[in-house]
Amino acid sequence: MGDASAWAAWVAAATSLATLIVTTVIGGRREHRKWARESLTDAFVAFLEASWAHSDIVRDTPAEHPLNVDTAQAFYAEMRSQLTRLRLLASEEVLQAGEDLLRCQRAAQEALPGLARQEALATAARSRRIVVAAAKREMGLP
């Protein structure tokens, strides 16, 4: 083990092992960040899609017909489910905006047809824009 070729082999093996460890650690972190970003994006999209669908159901129900509460409630439940995912992945700012939107959607669902419902839907739309802005900041988008 005293000759130069043996030492060179040991140095090469140690260097190879160090490179493998560093690559594995960096690659693992990169994959974790990628997964988190994709999961966050999926949760935002699903949350907002459910919000828009809920607003559409509430808005498109004629004043002389009862609101289809089951359908509206299904979209509201989807929003709650996605908000739970966001609690695991997003900042407090995003959660606050999401909770505010959820409350606005409930208010729109419970508002009486006419002006009250239109105002509640407008409030939900403004709250939805706040969620979109918070989501973009969370993901580092312009």
Residues 111/117, Cβ–Cβ less than 8 Å: yes
Cα–Cα distance between 123 and 116 in angstroms, integer? Answer: 11
CATH of domain 39-138: 1.20.120
103-133: pLDDT as tens digits: 999 999 999 999 999 999 999 999 999 999 9
Tell me what pLDDT residue 25 has. Answer: 63
Q: What are the residue ranges spanned by the domains of the chain? A: 39-138
pLDDT range class, residue 64, cuts 50, 70, 90: confident
Tell me what pLDDT residue 43 has. Answer: 93
pLDDT range class, residue 3, cuts 50, 70, 90: confident
- Whether residue 1 is predicted with pLDDT greater than 60 in this model: the reply is no
14-36: pLDDT as tens digits: 777 667 666 666 666 677 577 77
pTM: 0.77
pLDDT higher at 36 or 83: 83
Q: What share of the chain is helix, strand, coil (3-state, %, to 5)?
A: 85, 0, 15
Residues 102/3, Cβ–Cβ less than 8 Å: no
